[in-house]
Structure 1
Amino acid sequence: RGGGPRRRGGGPRRGARPEPRGASAARGAEALGHGSESGGSSLEEGSGSEGEEVTLSTKLCMWEFGQNDPKVDSGSRLVRFGLAKSMKPEAPFHGIVLSPRTDILVSAADRELVETAGIAGVNCSWNRIEEIPWERLQRKGQHRTLPLLVAANSVNYGRPWKLNTAEAIAATLVIVGLRGDAEAMLRPFSWGEEFLRLNEEALAGYAAARDSAGVRRRQQDFIARCQAEAAARKASAMDLPPSSGSEEEEEEE
C-alpha cells in the first residue's frame, strides 16, 4: 500500500528557510506538536477547497477530548471532512501516535507502520494539555514526536513547535515519505500551502534521514544554521554606517 491520493492542482510554492525565534527552547509540552491551537479554541480562518473531494491512502485517527470548539478546531475539521476518524480515549490503536511523552522523533523508518496502521493525533488544547490521560494513551501504538517545525495557522503563525493537529499530521506524512497525502489533507485549510512553504527545507531534510537519530542530527544542524544566520543579520545591522542626516548634524555641531 502507499501511493498518493487523487490530486488536482500543483504542489506548494518553494520557500526560504524558516527563521524561528527561540528554536533552542526547552521542548516540554511544546514538543507535542499536535495539540490544538492556544486559548482552548482555534480561530482558523476560511478554508481552501472544502468542496473538493479528497481521498487519502493513509488512515488518520483522532482522540477527541472536547476541549475546543469543533466548528473551527483543525482536528475536528479533519473528521468533519471525512479525512480522519474520531476515537474515544479507550479505543485501541496500533499505528503511530503523536505524543510529547517520547524522545523518538518520527522518521522515514515509520513509513511501513503508517501505511499499515495509520497516524493518531491527540486533539486537545495547548492550555489544557495536562488534563490528557497520557498514561492510558501510552499503552496504545508507537509514540513519536516531531522535530522543529514552524506553525502557519492563524493563531500561532511563525511560532516554533506550536503546530495544530492538522499541521502535525501533515508533517508526519511528509517526513515518512507520503507527501501526496499531506498535500491533499491540507487542501481544505487556507494556510495549508503556507505550512509546507514555511517548512519546506526542514521537512526535506527530515524526510531524507533514515531514522530518528538521523532526524535529530538534521534538526540540530538546522537550528544551528538558523541561529548563525540570525546572529549574522544582527551583526550586519550593527555595522551599518550612520545616515547622511546624522553626519550633517555632527558637522554642524
Structure 2
Amino acid sequence: MGGVRPAGKGRKGCRHAERNGKPAVGEGCESDSTHSDAEGSIGFQGLTIKLCMFEFSQNDAKKDSGVRLVRRGLATSMAANAAFKGIVLSSSSSTYLSRADRPLLEQFGLAGINCSWNRVEELPWARLQRQGHHRILPHLLAANTINYGRPFKLNTAEALGAALIIAGFDQDAAQVFDSFPDGEQFVRLNGEVLRLYSQASSSDELKAVQDHYLKRTQQEAAERREKGMDLPPSASDSEEVSDEERDEDQLDAAGNTIKA
C-alpha cells in the first residue's frame, strides 16, 4: 500500500511511523477490503487505552483498517524501532492476552503490527521482538471481506478491538469496531467466545477457556453434520478459500499463529 500519512503529534509511548519498514494470529496482518475510507475523520471520543501500530506501509492505504484507525484519531503509527513498553499483539509469545494485562495496557498502551499477510517474512522481526510485552490472541474468526470465517486471519482493527474486549475495555473496543464496515459483523461472529475470553483472569485460564470452547463447538458441529444441518462459520469449521480469494498485497494488525 502507499505510505501512511504521518498523524500529528502522537500520544505518549507512540511515535509516528516512517514510510518504510512475524506477525501471527492476533497481530493483525491485513487483507485489502472492498471498503475504501473517505478522507477526513469523524467525531470519536478519546480512548482509555493508547492504540499504536508498527506500520510497514505494505497495502493500499485507502482500504486498510489500521490506516483508517489512524486517520480517525483512534491510533498512532510508529516505526519498528520506536520505543514501546506496552502490549504488542504477536505470535512470538506463548502468553495469551487477558485481563491480567490491564495494568500494562492502562500505563503503556496496545500495539498491533500493520502489514501484508503475504509479506510477513519481510518484517524486521528481531527488532519487533524487542518491543514491549508480546501477547497472542486466542482463537477468533475474521469478519473482513477477504478472510471471512477464517480463524486467526484478523485484520488490524479486528485484532485491536478483540484485544480491548478481552482485557475489559468494552467502550474503547466499540469505538474501534464502529470505525470500519465489518466491525459489527466481527462482534456478532465472535460475540459468545469474546464474552468467555473476557472473563479469564490469566493467560492459563484463557487458554483453558479456548480449549473448552473449541472442543464444544467441534462436538456441536459433528452433531449438526449428522443431522444434515447447514453450519455457519464456526471455530471448528472454516471454509476453504480459493487462490483468487487469498490475500494479495494487503494489511492489518492482528494475525497470530496460535500455539498449542
Q: Same fold per TM (> 0.5)? A: yes
Q: State the TM-score, normalizing by the size of structure 1.
A: 0.77
Conserved? CA contact 1:46–1:190, under 8 Å: no
When residues 222 and 56 of structure 1 are mapped into structure 2, their CA distance, relative to the original with a 3 A threshold, is same
| Counterpart pick for 1:151 among 126, 142, 151 | 142
Query: CA offsets, 1:159-178, max 9 Å, x none?
Result: 11110000000011000110
Amino acid at match of 1:203: L
1:98 pairs with one of 89, 94, 101: 89
Partner of 1:80: 71
**C-alpha displacement of 1:54:** 3.4
Question: Which protein has the bigger helix share?
Answer: 1
Q: Please name the residue that 1:179 is paired with.
A: 170
1:227 equivalent to 2:221? Answer no
The runs of 5 or more residues in structure 2 that have no matched partner are 1-21, 230-260
Q: Given that residues 151 and 161 in structure 1 are in contact (C-alpha distance below 8 angstroms), is that contact kept between their aligned partners in structure 2?
A: yes
Counterpart in 2 of 1:36?
Answer: 30
| Cα distance, 1:189 vs structure 2 | 1.0
Runs of 4+ in 1 over 3 A off after TM superposition: none
Per mean C-alpha deviation after superposition, the further-off stretch among 115-124 and 185-194 is 185-194
2:119 — aligned with what? 128
Could you tell me how far 1:52 is from its partner in structure 2? 3.3
- Give me the whole-angstrom Cα distance separating, in 2, the residues matched to 1:155 and 1:79: 21
Partners of 2:139 and 2:152 within 8 A in 1: yes
Partner of 1:8: none
Q: Secondary structure at the match of 1:231?
A: helix
Q: Match for 1:198: what amino acid?
A: L
Residues 42 and 72, structure 2, Cα contact 8 Å, conserved in 1: no
Cα deviation digits, residues 114-149 of structure 1 (max 9, x gap) = 111000111001111111111111111000010000
* Partner amino acid, structure 2, of 1:218: V
Helix, strand or coil for the counterpart of 2:84?
coil
Q: Distance in 2 between matches of 1:185 and 1:131?
A: 28
In structure 2, relative to structure 1, the CA distance for the partners of 1:156 and 1:54 (3 Å cut) is farther
CA RMSD of aligned residues (A): 2.0
- Which of the numbers 174, 185, 189 marks the counterpart of 2:180? 189
Q: Which has the larger radius of gyration?
A: 1
- Paired position in structure 1 for 2:158: 167
Mapped to 1, the partners of 2:179 and 2:111 lie a distance apart of 19
